[in-house]
Amino acid sequence: MNKDQIKGRAEEATGKIKEITGKILDDDELEQKGNVQKNVGKVRAGMGDLKEDIKKNH
């Protein structure tokens, strides 16, 4: 695993927690921020996955 995969998955998890907390507390702003953070984390983890695939195939 590379640092992008680790940081991306951690950010994704943090965003998911914020999103769920926002839903529970009926806080739309927190829910939206969590959703954005979750998606940014998914993208970063995906970039890390791509880097690993390139590294393995070369």
For the chain, domain boundaries: 3-57
pLDDT tens for the chain, 58 residues: list them.
Answer: 899 999 999 999 999 999 999 999 999 999 999 999 999 999 999 999 999 999 999 8
pLDDT at 58: 82
pLDDT at 39: 98
pLDDT at 12: 98
The token pair at 49 is 């996955």
Contact 49, 2 (CB under 8 A): no
The structure's pTM equals: 0.88
pLDDT at 21: 98
Alpha-carbon gap, residue 47 to 4, rounded angstroms: 7
The single-letter code of the amino acid at 22 is G
Other CB atoms within 10 A of residue 32 CB? 13
